[in-house]
Amino acid sequence: MRRRLQRRRLSLTSLIDVIFLLLLFFMLTSTFSKFSEVDLTTATSGVNTLSKHRPIFLKLGQDALSLNGHVATLNALPEALAAQRTDSTKTTLVVSLSEQVPAQRLVDLLVVLRGITDLNYTVLGGV
């Protein structure tokens, strides 16, 4: 005679434990970043957009940054801009982007520029 196979009930306890451990693992390994906003203003017509003073030129590359032809870093940019200013009025900064500049690099620059008072900046860039 053949024995009849008995079906065992599937225990969900171990499955719930595995799901809980996976959930715990993903929660602990996730990073929670604080996102901030970068204010961008729209461009105006070309009339009277630059001040009467000579603007400062900043070229932003993937790894390099030059301010009026002198090499600078993002951390030292406020001091370098202060040295380039001629007086206490609003200074105009023209930012030119190199070919392969990532968006995060531009955002990092804009965050630094946001902390500098009396500064108008214009970002030049291609499509």
**For 99-115, what is each residue's pLDDT tens digit?**
888 888 888 898 888 88
The structure's pTM equals: 0.59
Could you tell me which residues come within 8 angstroms of residue 4 by beta carbon, excluding any fewer than 6 positions away?
none
Antiparallel, parallel or unpaired: β 119-124 and 70-72: unpaired
Q: What's the start-to-end Cα distance of the chain, in Å? A: 81
Cα–Cα distance for residue pair 26/75, rounded to 1 Å: 34
Q: What is the 3-state secondary structure (H, E, C) of 70-83?
A: EEECCCCHHHHHHH
pLDDT in tens, 42-89: 555 555 544 567 888 999 988 889 888 888 888 888 888 888 877 767
**What structural domains does the chain harbor?**
56-124 (3.30.420)
